[in-house]
Amino acid sequence: MKHGSLFSGIGGFDLAAEWMGWENVFHVERDPFCRKVLSHHFPKAKTHEDIKTFDGTAFAGGVDIITGGFPCQPFSAAGKRAGTSDDRYLWPEMFRIIREARPTYVVAENVRGLISWNEGLVLDTVCADLESEGYEVCPVVLPAASVNAPHRRDRIWIVAYANDKGGACGLGEVQGPDGEVSQRYDHAQPCHAGSADATNANGAGERQDNGQGEPRQLDQESAPRDWQDFPTIAPICGGDDGLPEELDGLTFPKWRRESIKAYGNAIVPQVAYQIFKAL
Protein backbone atom coordinates (compact mmCIF):
# COMPACT_ATOMS: atom_id res chain seq x y z
CA MET A 1 0.00 0.00 0.00
CA LYS A 2 1.20 3.49 -0.86
CA HIS A 3 0.14 6.32 1.44
CA GLY A 4 0.04 10.08 1.12
CA SER A 5 -0.90 12.50 3.91
CA LEU A 6 -2.36 16.00 3.79
CA PHE A 7 -2.22 18.51 6.67
CA SER A 8 0.44 16.11 7.91
CA GLY A 9 1.55 17.88 11.09
CA ILE A 10 4.31 15.84 12.72
CA GLY A 11 3.19 12.68 10.93
CA GLY A 12 0.61 10.83 13.02
CA PHE A 13 -0.96 9.21 9.96
CA ASP A 14 2.48 8.62 8.44
CA LEU A 15 3.65 6.86 11.60
CA ALA A 16 0.58 4.59 11.59
CA ALA A 17 1.20 3.83 7.90
CA GLU A 18 4.79 2.91 8.72
CA TRP A 19 3.56 0.52 11.43
CA MET A 20 1.42 -1.12 8.74
CA GLY A 21 4.46 -1.58 6.54
CA TRP A 22 3.10 0.83 3.95
CA GLU A 23 5.17 3.21 1.85
CA ASN A 24 4.82 6.91 2.67
CA VAL A 25 4.86 8.58 -0.73
CA PHE A 26 4.22 12.23 0.12
CA HIS A 27 3.18 14.61 2.86
CA VAL A 28 1.82 18.15 2.64
CA GLU A 29 2.44 20.52 5.55
CA ARG A 30 2.99 24.28 5.67
CA ASP A 31 4.43 24.59 9.19
CA PRO A 32 8.27 24.76 9.04
CA PHE A 33 8.80 22.99 12.37
CA CYS A 34 6.51 20.12 11.40
CA ARG A 35 8.24 19.79 8.04
CA LYS A 36 11.57 19.39 9.85
CA VAL A 37 10.07 16.55 11.91
CA LEU A 38 8.54 14.93 8.82
CA SER A 39 11.77 15.16 6.82
CA HIS A 40 13.72 13.61 9.68
CA HIS A 41 11.38 10.66 10.30
CA PHE A 42 10.12 10.09 6.74
CA PRO A 43 13.02 11.15 4.49
CA LYS A 44 11.92 9.04 1.52
CA ALA A 45 8.53 10.77 1.20
CA LYS A 46 8.22 13.84 -0.99
CA THR A 47 7.61 17.04 0.97
CA HIS A 48 5.13 19.66 -0.21
CA GLU A 49 4.31 22.90 1.59
CA ASP A 50 1.12 24.45 0.19
CA ILE A 51 -2.11 22.46 0.04
CA LYS A 52 -3.57 25.01 -2.36
CA THR A 53 -0.88 24.51 -4.99
CA PHE A 54 -0.34 20.77 -4.46
CA ASP A 55 -1.17 18.84 -7.65
CA GLY A 56 -2.75 15.47 -6.92
CA THR A 57 -2.73 14.43 -10.58
CA ALA A 58 1.00 13.77 -10.27
CA PHE A 59 0.10 10.83 -7.99
CA ALA A 60 -2.90 9.47 -9.91
CA GLY A 61 -2.55 5.70 -9.91
CA GLY A 62 0.46 5.96 -7.63
CA VAL A 63 -1.15 6.16 -4.20
CA ASP A 64 -3.62 3.74 -2.56
CA ILE A 65 -4.72 5.80 0.43
CA ILE A 66 -4.84 9.51 1.23
CA THR A 67 -5.29 10.72 4.80
CA GLY A 68 -5.68 14.12 6.37
CA GLY A 69 -6.88 15.89 9.46
CA PHE A 70 -8.17 18.98 7.68
CA PRO A 71 -7.94 22.00 10.01
CA CYS A 72 -10.32 21.76 12.95
CA GLN A 73 -10.17 25.39 14.12
CA PRO A 74 -13.31 26.43 12.18
CA PHE A 75 -15.35 23.83 14.11
CA SER A 76 -13.53 23.40 17.42
CA ALA A 77 -15.28 24.46 20.63
CA ALA A 78 -11.95 25.99 21.64
CA GLY A 79 -12.05 28.41 18.71
CA LYS A 80 -14.42 30.99 17.23
CA ARG A 81 -16.34 28.33 15.28
CA ALA A 82 -16.54 30.44 12.14
CA GLY A 83 -17.22 27.30 10.13
CA THR A 84 -16.99 27.37 6.36
CA SER A 85 -16.44 31.16 6.40
CA ASP A 86 -13.09 30.60 8.14
CA ASP A 87 -10.18 30.79 5.70
CA ARG A 88 -8.81 27.69 7.40
CA TYR A 89 -11.75 25.62 6.13
CA LEU A 90 -9.73 23.52 3.70
CA TRP A 91 -11.86 20.45 3.07
CA PRO A 92 -12.48 21.68 -0.52
CA GLU A 93 -8.71 21.51 -1.14
CA MET A 94 -8.50 17.99 0.30
CA PHE A 95 -11.44 16.93 -1.84
CA ARG A 96 -9.83 18.42 -4.94
CA ILE A 97 -6.69 16.36 -4.34
CA ILE A 98 -8.75 13.20 -3.76
CA ARG A 99 -10.48 13.74 -7.11
CA GLU A 100 -7.12 14.29 -8.80
CA ALA A 101 -5.25 11.35 -7.25
CA ARG A 102 -8.18 8.86 -7.08
CA PRO A 103 -6.93 6.73 -4.14
CA THR A 104 -8.76 3.53 -3.21
CA TYR A 105 -9.12 4.67 0.41
CA VAL A 106 -9.57 8.01 2.14
CA VAL A 107 -9.34 8.62 5.89
CA ALA A 108 -10.16 12.14 7.12
CA GLU A 109 -10.21 13.31 10.73
CA ASN A 110 -11.66 16.27 12.58
CA VAL A 111 -13.03 17.36 15.95
CA ARG A 112 -16.39 16.08 17.12
CA GLY A 113 -17.78 19.61 16.73
CA LEU A 114 -17.86 19.02 12.98
CA ILE A 115 -20.92 16.80 13.53
CA SER A 116 -23.06 19.52 15.09
CA TRP A 117 -21.84 22.47 13.04
CA ASN A 118 -24.81 24.00 11.17
CA GLU A 119 -26.95 21.02 12.21
CA GLY A 120 -24.58 18.56 10.59
CA LEU A 121 -24.56 20.23 7.18
CA VAL A 122 -20.77 20.41 6.90
CA LEU A 123 -20.25 16.73 7.69
CA ASP A 124 -23.04 15.85 5.28
CA THR A 125 -21.29 17.93 2.65
CA VAL A 126 -18.01 16.07 3.21
CA CYS A 127 -19.77 12.71 2.89
CA ALA A 128 -21.80 13.83 -0.13
CA ASP A 129 -18.67 15.12 -1.85
CA LEU A 130 -16.98 11.74 -1.47
CA GLU A 131 -20.09 9.86 -2.54
CA SER A 132 -20.33 12.01 -5.66
CA GLU A 133 -16.92 10.61 -6.66
CA GLY A 134 -18.01 7.00 -6.15
CA TYR A 135 -16.84 6.42 -2.59
CA GLU A 136 -18.71 4.49 0.08
CA VAL A 137 -18.44 6.58 3.24
CA CYS A 138 -18.35 5.46 6.87
CA PRO A 139 -18.09 8.24 9.51
CA VAL A 140 -17.43 7.10 13.08
CA VAL A 141 -16.77 8.91 16.37
CA LEU A 142 -13.77 7.34 18.06
CA PRO A 143 -11.92 8.72 21.11
CA ALA A 144 -8.28 8.30 22.05
CA ALA A 145 -9.60 6.36 25.04
CA SER A 146 -10.61 3.57 22.64
CA VAL A 147 -6.93 2.59 22.47
CA ASN A 148 -6.52 3.09 26.24
CA ALA A 149 -5.02 6.57 26.14
CA PRO A 150 -5.75 8.27 29.51
CA HIS A 151 -7.80 11.03 27.89
CA ARG A 152 -11.01 10.92 25.87
CA ARG A 153 -10.27 13.22 22.89
CA ASP A 154 -13.33 12.45 20.75
CA ARG A 155 -12.74 12.73 17.03
CA ILE A 156 -14.82 12.10 13.93
CA TRP A 157 -13.07 9.75 11.50
CA ILE A 158 -14.43 9.71 7.96
CA VAL A 159 -13.43 6.52 6.17
CA ALA A 160 -14.17 6.10 2.47
CA TYR A 161 -13.67 3.31 -0.07
CA ALA A 162 -13.84 3.57 -3.84
CA ASN A 163 -16.95 1.64 -4.88
CA ASP A 164 -15.73 1.25 -8.45
CA LYS A 165 -12.95 -1.02 -7.17
CA GLY A 166 -15.35 -3.53 -5.64
CA GLY A 167 -16.17 -4.60 -2.08
CA ALA A 168 -17.17 -2.56 0.95
CA CYS A 169 -15.27 -0.03 2.99
CA GLY A 170 -14.30 -2.67 5.57
CA LEU A 171 -14.94 -0.63 8.71
CA GLY A 172 -17.93 -1.36 10.90
CA GLU A 173 -18.33 -1.09 14.66
CA VAL A 174 -15.20 0.07 16.45
CA GLN A 175 -14.97 -1.23 20.00
CA GLY A 176 -13.24 0.25 23.00
CA PRO A 177 -11.22 -1.54 25.68
CA ASP A 178 -14.35 -2.80 27.46
CA GLY A 179 -16.18 -3.85 24.32
CA GLU A 180 -18.22 -0.64 24.23
CA VAL A 181 -19.04 0.35 20.66
CA SER A 182 -18.11 3.87 19.70
CA GLN A 183 -20.75 6.14 18.21
CA ARG A 184 -21.17 5.99 14.47
CA TYR A 185 -22.59 9.04 12.80
CA ASP A 186 -25.93 8.10 11.24
CA HIS A 187 -25.30 9.08 7.64
CA ALA A 188 -27.63 8.20 4.80
CA GLN A 189 -25.08 5.76 3.35
CA PRO A 190 -23.62 3.87 6.34
CA CYS A 191 -20.91 1.30 6.01
CA HIS A 192 -22.20 -2.30 6.08
CA ALA A 193 -18.99 -4.19 6.73
CA GLY A 194 -17.73 -6.07 9.78
CA SER A 195 -16.18 -4.83 13.01
CA ALA A 196 -12.83 -3.40 14.02
CA ASP A 197 -11.55 -3.86 17.54
CA ALA A 198 -9.69 -0.76 18.72
CA THR A 199 -7.42 -2.74 21.04
CA ASN A 200 -4.70 -5.27 20.45
CA ALA A 201 -5.03 -8.96 21.30
CA ASN A 202 -4.27 -8.29 24.96
CA GLY A 203 -6.85 -5.53 25.24
CA ALA A 204 -4.16 -2.88 25.65
CA GLY A 205 -3.53 0.26 23.66
CA GLU A 206 -0.31 0.86 21.78
CA ARG A 207 2.28 3.59 21.33
CA GLN A 208 5.17 4.50 19.10
CA ASP A 209 7.53 2.13 17.24
CA ASN A 210 9.41 -0.27 19.51
CA GLY A 211 12.29 -0.63 17.06
CA GLN A 212 10.88 -3.68 15.29
CA GLY A 213 8.24 -1.83 13.28
CA GLU A 214 5.40 -2.44 15.77
CA PRO A 215 3.74 0.14 18.05
CA ARG A 216 4.61 0.13 21.73
CA GLN A 217 1.90 -0.18 24.35
CA LEU A 218 0.68 2.90 26.19
CA ASP A 219 1.32 2.94 29.92
CA GLN A 220 -2.14 2.49 31.40
CA GLU A 221 -1.42 1.80 35.08
CA SER A 222 -3.26 4.93 36.23
CA ALA A 223 -5.79 5.25 33.41
CA PRO A 224 -9.47 5.10 34.43
CA ARG A 225 -11.58 2.48 32.70
CA ASP A 226 -14.83 4.44 32.38
CA TRP A 227 -14.69 6.58 29.25
CA GLN A 228 -16.86 9.22 30.88
CA ASP A 229 -14.12 9.82 33.46
CA PHE A 230 -11.40 10.51 30.91
CA PRO A 231 -10.25 14.14 30.64
CA THR A 232 -11.03 15.73 27.29
CA ILE A 233 -7.58 17.31 27.00
CA ALA A 234 -4.41 15.24 27.00
CA PRO A 235 -1.62 15.96 29.50
CA ILE A 236 0.98 18.19 27.81
CA CYS A 237 4.09 16.33 26.64
CA GLY A 238 3.38 13.34 28.83
CA GLY A 239 3.70 10.76 26.09
CA ASP A 240 -0.02 10.08 26.38
CA ASP A 241 -0.76 10.92 22.75
CA GLY A 242 1.29 7.95 21.58
CA LEU A 243 3.70 10.16 19.65
CA PRO A 244 7.52 9.91 19.64
CA GLU A 245 8.98 10.96 22.98
CA GLU A 246 11.82 12.85 21.28
CA LEU A 247 9.55 15.89 20.99
CA ASP A 248 9.33 16.01 24.79
CA GLY A 249 13.04 16.62 25.08
CA LEU A 250 13.28 19.79 23.01
CA THR A 251 14.85 22.46 25.19
CA PHE A 252 15.24 25.37 22.77
CA PRO A 253 12.43 27.77 23.80
CA LYS A 254 11.07 28.30 20.28
CA TRP A 255 11.14 24.62 19.38
CA ARG A 256 9.62 23.74 22.74
CA ARG A 257 6.63 25.98 22.01
CA GLU A 258 6.36 24.54 18.51
CA SER A 259 6.48 20.97 19.80
CA ILE A 260 3.66 21.61 22.27
CA LYS A 261 1.56 23.20 19.52
CA ALA A 262 2.29 20.22 17.25
CA TYR A 263 1.16 17.81 19.95
CA GLY A 264 -2.11 19.68 20.32
CA ASN A 265 -2.82 19.51 16.59
CA ALA A 266 -1.75 15.89 16.12
CA ILE A 267 -3.91 12.83 15.73
CA VAL A 268 -3.40 9.82 18.00
CA PRO A 269 -1.60 7.43 15.61
CA GLN A 270 -2.75 4.31 17.46
CA VAL A 271 -6.36 5.12 16.49
CA ALA A 272 -5.39 5.56 12.83
CA TYR A 273 -3.45 2.28 13.05
CA GLN A 274 -6.56 0.39 14.15
CA ILE A 275 -8.57 1.94 11.31
CA PHE A 276 -5.84 1.01 8.84
CA LYS A 277 -5.89 -2.58 10.10
CA ALA A 278 -9.65 -2.71 9.51
CA LEU A 279 -9.46 -1.59 5.88
Q: Rounded CA gap, 170 and 83, in Å?
A: 30
Q: Rounded CA gap, 40 and 37, in Å?
A: 5
Pairing, β 154-162 against β 105-111: antiparallel
At residue 167, the 3 state secondary structure works out as coil
Q: State the Cα angle at 174 between 170 and 176, rounded to 5°.
A: 155
Q: State the Cα angle at 177 between 8 and 259, rounded to 5°.
A: 30
Which of 34, 72, 127, 138 is catalytic? The answer is 72
Sequence-separated (6 or more) residues with CB below 8 Å from residue 211:
none
- Residue 275 sits at φ, ψ, to 5 deg, of -65, -45
Instruction: Decide: 119 and 106 in contact? Cβ < 8 Å.
Output: no
Q: Is 138 a catalytic residue?
A: no
Instruction: Decide: 142 and 109 in contact? Cβ < 8 Å.
Output: no
**Residues counted in the chain:** 279
Q: Rounded CA gap, 83 and 202, in Å?
A: 41
Residues designated as active site: 72
